[in-house]
């Protein structure tokens, strides 16, 4: 695996990590991480695992940290829904211009939301791991109380055990209509979600599958929690994804 570098965009520098295919490339897996506290590694390093998995070694893997995450420009207080969408669009444009081969968007957790806020029918497929399509119906909901509202009004952000949410992002979480995020376009789509996920309910993936315009393969793991944390769960999903992409 190569070392991370920086891509300068119109909005600032974004940290990126690219792993080239170990055989003739069939395209790019463009990885969109979740948050808060996410970065280009993905949940517990899931994107690093995809880059190293033998069953996916015919794909380039491009990982990046959106602004306000990792070592990219910005602070956590600066993060909004649409700052993240802008960063995703910048990276997608770069990949499209540089490498016209197939592009597969891989969104984990809130990374799925960011991709869904900017559906793009030019990509070849969508791959969603424990995805959130409606951020209000996630573990963000613990902050929707009068006490946290008062903290936002007083300080302009909240901080809770390392989780930082700025005022603009907080207000977007409360008011944005996420219903269109469930309308997956007519593109092959892979979804993996654990039925014991308490951070993002499994029912979100069921709804997205039902409202999709095209074919969706839903891998519903009976025991997995958010992130498919156990090694056997990780191997299950990497193997399934490798087969799906063939």
- List, for residues 226-242, the tens digit of each pLDDT value: 999 999 999 999 999 99
Of 125, 5, 21, 105, the closest CA to residue 65 belongs to: 5
What's the helix, strand, coil split of the chain in %, to 5? 40, 20, 40
**pTM above the 0.85 mark?**
yes
Q: Residue 121 above 90 pLDDT?
A: yes
Q: Which residues of 112-122 are buried (b: 16+ CB within 10 A; e: fewer)?
A: bbbbbbebeee
The stretch 90-100 carries a mean pLDDT of: 88
In angstroms, the CA 5 to CA 173 distance is: 31
Give the number of C-alpha atoms closer than 13 A to the C-alpha of residue 22, restricted to the C-beta side.
10
Residue 111 lies in a domain: yes
Q: Residue 10 above 80 pLDDT?
A: yes
The stretch 194-209 carries a mean pLDDT of: 98
Structure tokens at 244: 């799906």
Domain span including residue 99: 5-136+180-244
Residue 160 lies in a domain: no
- List, for residues 157-175, the tens digit of each pLDDT value: 999 998 999 999 999 999 9
> What is the predicted pLDDT for the residue at 246?
87
Residue 162 lies in a domain: no
**pLDDT band, residue 244 (cuts 50/70/90):** very high
Residue 21 lies in a domain: yes
Residue 167 lies in a domain: no
In angstroms, the CA 15 to CA 124 distance is: 24
Residue 31 lies in a domain: yes
195 backbone dihedrals φ, ψ, rounded to 5°: -70, -15
Task: List the CATH number of the domain containing 83.
Answer: 3.40.50.1820
Q: Residue 63 above 70 pLDDT?
A: yes
> What is the predicted pLDDT for the residue at 52?
97
CB atoms within 10 A of CB 159: 12
Domain count for the chain? 1
């Amino acid at each position: 695996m190569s070392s991370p570098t920086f891509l300068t965009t119109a909005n600032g520098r974004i940290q990126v990590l690219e792993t080239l295919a170990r055989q003739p490339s069939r395209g790019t897996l463009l990885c969109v991480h979740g948050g808060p506290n996410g970065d280009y590694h993905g949940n517990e390093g899931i994107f690093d695992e995809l880059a190293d998995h033998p069953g996916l070694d015919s794909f380039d893997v491009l990982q990046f940290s959106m602004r306000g995450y990792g070592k990219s420009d910005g602070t956590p207080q600066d993060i909004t829904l649409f700052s993240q969408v802008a960063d995703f669009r910048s990276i997608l444009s770069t990949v499209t211009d540089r490498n016209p081969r197939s592009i597969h968007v891989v969104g984990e957790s809130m990374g799925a939301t960011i991709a869904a806020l900017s559906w793009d029918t030019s990509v070849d497929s969508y791959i969603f791991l424990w995805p959130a399509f409606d951020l209000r119906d996630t573990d963000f909901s613990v902050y929707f109380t009068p006490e946290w509202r008062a903290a936002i009004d007083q300080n302009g952000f909240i901080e809770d055990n390392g989780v930082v949410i700025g005022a603009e992002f907080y207000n977007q979480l409360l008011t944005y209509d996420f219903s269109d995020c469930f309308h997956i376009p007519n593109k092959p789509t892979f979804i993996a979600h654990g039925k014991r996920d308490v951070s993002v309910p499994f029912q979100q993936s069921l709804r997205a599958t039902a409202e999709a315009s095209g074919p969706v393969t839903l891998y519903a793991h009976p025991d997995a929690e958010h992130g498919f944390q156990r090694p056997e769960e990780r191997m299950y999903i990497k193997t399934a994804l490798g087969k799906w992409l063939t």
